[in-house]
Structure 1
Amino acid sequence: MNQLRWSPNILIKDNAVDSFWKEHFAEEGRKLLFVLGKGFDVRMNFALSRLLNVRPDINLECILIEFDEGKTSSSLDYNPLVTENMEEFEKIMESRPIQVKKIKMKNKSGKRGRIVGDRNAADLIKSHSEIEDFTDIIVDISSLPRGIYFSLTGKILKLIDQNQQNQQNLFLTVAENVKIDSQIQETDLEEDLTYLYGFGGQIELEAEKEQPLIWFPILGEDKSAHIKKGADKIMEDKTRLHEICPVLPFPSKDPRRSDALLIEYHNLLFDSLDIEPQNIMYTTERDPFQTYIQLSDAVANYRESLKVLNGCKFALSTFSSKLISIGTLLVAYENPEFVGILNINSGGYQILDESEIKNLKQESELFVTWLTGSPYHQQSPKNSN
C-alpha cells in the first residue's frame, strides 16, 4: 500500500487548542483568513471567539458565507438564532475586515430546485491569487452544511497543492458536540441524489459502470431515511455489482453508541438491505485522521481483492459527526479517480429544543485538523491536478 499523505498527521484537541493558537500566531508576519458560515447553529462563533480570546492582536480577515436556501426552507424559522449569532460575531470581529459571500443553494426557488450549493461553494475562491497573501487559512465547518465545506475545502486544497512552492497552513476546525447534533434534524430530503462537486470519483461515467460499487455509509442517529435513499441510489443500476459496508463510530465518547446504532438500524441493515454482519466496519469517533487511515485501508484492500474484475469504485456518505466527515473528505480528495462522496441533501432543519442547544453550547469541544503547511512541506502532494 502506498504511503498515505496524511500519515503522520497533526490533530489538536480541545484542551490544547488555546495554547497552540497562542504559540502559532505569535510568529511575526502571520496573516490569517478565517472562513465560517452564517447560520443558526449556536456553535457558529465558538472557534473564532476561542482564537481571538487568546490572540486578540492577530492579523485576521474573515469570509462569512451566507446561504440562500429558498423562501420555503424550514431553516428560516430559526432567524432569531441567526440574529443572535450575528450580533455576537460583529462584537467579536469589531473593526476587522469581513467579506460576505452569498451562496445560492438551488438554481430556482421551491423544493424542486436543482442543488447547486456545492458547485457555488467551489467557486467562492476561483484562483490562488485570492488567498496567496495569507500565511494561514482556517475553515471552520461548525455551521457549514456538508456539501458546502466538502467542495470549498477541496477547492482550497487543490489551489494550495497546485502552487507547490507555497507553504500555507490550512486548518479545518469544528466544535464537536454530539448532543447538539442530535437536537438538529435534517428535513425535506432531496429526491435526486448526486455526488458532490469535485468529489465524483468518476463513478457515474458510462465507461466505468461495469466496475463494482462499494458504499461506505457512516452511521449516526435518526438517519433511516438518509440510508434508504442512499441505498436506493447505489442499487439503482441493477446490472452493476454493489456492496454496502456500514461504518459505526467506535470507540466513541459514549461507549455504547455503536451498540445503540446497531439496535436502531437492525431491521433496515440486516432485513431490508440484507447486509452481511462481516461487512460492518468501525471507525473512531474523535479522530478524523484515524477515520481517513481506516477507510483508506479498506479501499486499498477492496481494490486488491477486486483486481480480477478490473477494479472497483467507492462511494462514501457521512450521516454522523462533522469530525468523522473530515476523514471521508481526505480519502476522497486523495483518490479522485475512484472514490466519490454521495451526499443526501436536505431542504431544511428542525431544532427539537432551542433552549437545550443553547445550554449545551459550552460543552462543545474544539478540534483542529492541520492539513497543509509547515509540518508537511517536505512531502509532495499526491493530488495536484
Structure 2
Amino acid sequence: MIWENYVFRRGVEVEDLWDDMYSDRKANNRSMRLLYIAGRGFDLRANNVISTYVERLNASGCKVDQATLLLVGFGGYQLSTELEALTNENASILEGIFGTIGKVETYFIDETEEDEELNATIMLRLGASKILDYLEGVTDVVLDVSSLPRIAYLTILLSILARIIPATGDQDLLTHGGVTFQVLVGEDPELDSKIAAQDPSNDLVLIPGYSEVFQSETLRDMPMVWFPILGENRLAQVLKVESNIPDWAEICPILPHPSKDPRRGDKLLTEYDSTLFAKRQTPLSNIIYAHEGHPFEVYRQLLEAMLRFRKTLSVIGGSRLVVTPLASKLITVGSALACFEMKMRSVDSSSGVAIPYAEPKRYVADVAALRSSKPDLSVLVLTGDPYLI
C-alpha cells in the first residue's frame, strides 16, 4: 500500500505536527513556497482551519518566500439569501487572515469562456488543469476541504496526487516530487448531516480520470461492484446513481462505524433500506464498516475490498469498481486515496475504478448551526517531508 505508513493527526496534535515540520525547516535554513487551496463557500469551518494554520506557521519562524491562497468558487448552486451572504462573509474573513502572509486569488471553477456550455465533468477537468498550473515551483500544497463541495475537493485532491506521485514502482513515491502535500479537514459529522443537498442533476458527474469504466460501451457487460459510501440526507443522489447501476451488479454499502453516534449506522440502514436492501436485495453481509474519524482506515478497508473483488472477478474477464462517496469529509478523503491507488494498480489489468456522483443544484443549511459548529481539526500529510528517512 502506498500509505502503509501514514501521517495523520487531529486536535492539538495537528499544531504539534506543524511546529515540528516548520521548526525543522527553519533549523535547516529551508524556505517554503506555499499554495493554500480553500473553498469560497458558506461553510465557516474553513475560518477555524486557516486561522490555526497561519498562526502556527508564523509562530514557527519558517521563512516563506511566496504564499498564495487560491479561493475556489462556484456560481452554479442555488443558495438562500442568508447562505449567499455567509459565503461573501466567509471569503472576506479568509482573505483577511491569509493576507498577512501572502496574496489571495479567486478562481470560479465553473466559469467558461464566451458563454460556452460544458457539462460538469468537462468543467471539472478544465478547472483542475488550471489549478494545477499554480503548482509550478511550489514546495508546499495545502488543500483545505472544509468549505469545498465534494466533487471539487475530490477532483483537486486526485489531480494533485496524479501530478506529484509517479505512476511507477518508484520506492520514493511519497517524496519523489519534492512537494509536501497536506489535506486539512474541519470535521463535524453532525453538521455534515444537517447540510441538505437537494435537486440532484439529471446528468451524473464523473470525477475526471475516473470515468472510463463507467461510461465505456465496450465494457458495459463487464462485472460491476458498486460501493455507495452512505451519509445522511443523500437519498436523492443515491437514487440517481442507483438508476445507472445494472440490476446484476454487486452492491457493498459502506457505513460509518465506529461513530460518535453509536446508532448512526442503524439510522442510515433505515434511511436507505428501500433503495439498497428491499429493492436490490443486498445482503447485510455485504456491508463494509468504515471508521468515521480515521481516513486511512477507510482507505485500507476500501482498497482491500476492491482488490479482493478484482482478484475474484479476474477469472471471468475483469471488473468495474464504482465508488460513490456521500459520507462525511474524512471518510470521503479516505475513499479517494483508495480509488487513487486502485487506479495505479489497475493500469496493466482488466479492471478499473470510477467515481460517479449526482451533484446537487441546491444546498440548504441552518446558518445558526454553521456558526455554532466546533469542528475537530484533522490533517493528512500525503507526501513530502514527514516521509523522508
Same fold? TM cut 0.5: yes
Pick from 7, 15, 23: which aligns with 1:10?
7
Q: Distance in 1 between matches of 2:114 and 2:195?
A: 25
Specify which of 219, 223, 226 is matched with residue 212 of structure 1. 223
Q: 2:307: which partner in 1?
A: 300
Tell me the residue number matched to 2:143: 139
Match of 2:214 in 1: 203
Alpha carbons 1:167, 1:377 under 8 Å: kept: no
User: Percent identity among equivalent residues?
Assistant: 30
1:262-316 C-alpha deviation (Å, 9 max, x unpaired): 2222233221222112111111111111111101111111112212211211000
State the distance in 1 between where 2:99 and 2:238 align: 43
Q: State the partner residue of 1:172.
A: 183
2:124 pairs with 90, 111, 118, which one?
A: 118
Among 339, 345, 348, the alignment partner of 2:359 is 345
* Cα offsets for 1:306-335 (capped at 9, x unmatched): 122112110001111011011111122122
Give the number of aligned pairs. 362
In structure 2, the partner of 1:319 is 326
The AA in structure 1 aligned to 2:280 is L
Counterpart Cα distance in 2 of 1:166 and 1:210: 39
Give the superposition deviation at 1:108.
Answer: 10
| From 347, 359, 362, the counterpart of 2:372 | 359
Moved more, 35-44 or 333-342: 333-342
Change (3 A) 1:107 1:323: farther
Residue 227 of structure 1 is matched in structure 2 by 238
Q: Give 3-state SS (helix, strand or coil) of 2:45's partner.
A: coil
Q: CA deviation at 1:64?
A: 1.3
Change (3 A) 1:326 1:105: farther
* 1:9-54 residue CA offsets vs partner (Å, 9 max, x unmatched): 1111122011211221221313321110111111122211011122
CA distance in 1 between counterparts of 2:153 and 2:53 reads 20
What is the alpha-carbon distance in structure 2 between the residues aligned to residue 105 and residue 273 of structure 1? 39
AA partner of residue 91 (structure 1): G
List alignment gaps of at least 5 residues for structure 2. 168-172, 347-351
Name 1:382's counterpart in structure 2: none
SS in 1 for 2:321: strand
Q: CA shift at 1:77, angstroms? A: 5.2
- Return the offset for 1:207: 2.6
- Other-structure match for 1:36: 38
Paired position in structure 1 for 2:159: 155
Per the TM alignment, residue 113 of structure 1 is displaced from its structure 2 partner at its CA by 7.1
CA deviation profile, 1:239-272 (whole Å, cap 9, x unmatched): xx41111111011121221122122222332212
How far apart in 1 are the matches of 2:88 and 2:136? 32
Aligned-residue CA RMSD in angstroms? 2.3
Runs of 4+ in 1 over 6 A off after TM superposition: 105-109
Q: Secondary structure at the match of 1:82?
A: helix
In 1, Cα distance between equivalents of 2:363 and 2:118: 17
Give 1:106 deviation, angstroms: 8.0
Q: CA shift at 1:185, angstroms?
A: 0.8
CA displacement at 1:219 relative to structure 2: 0.7
Unaligned runs of 5+ in 1: 379-385
- The partner residue of 1:48 within 47, 50, 53 is 50
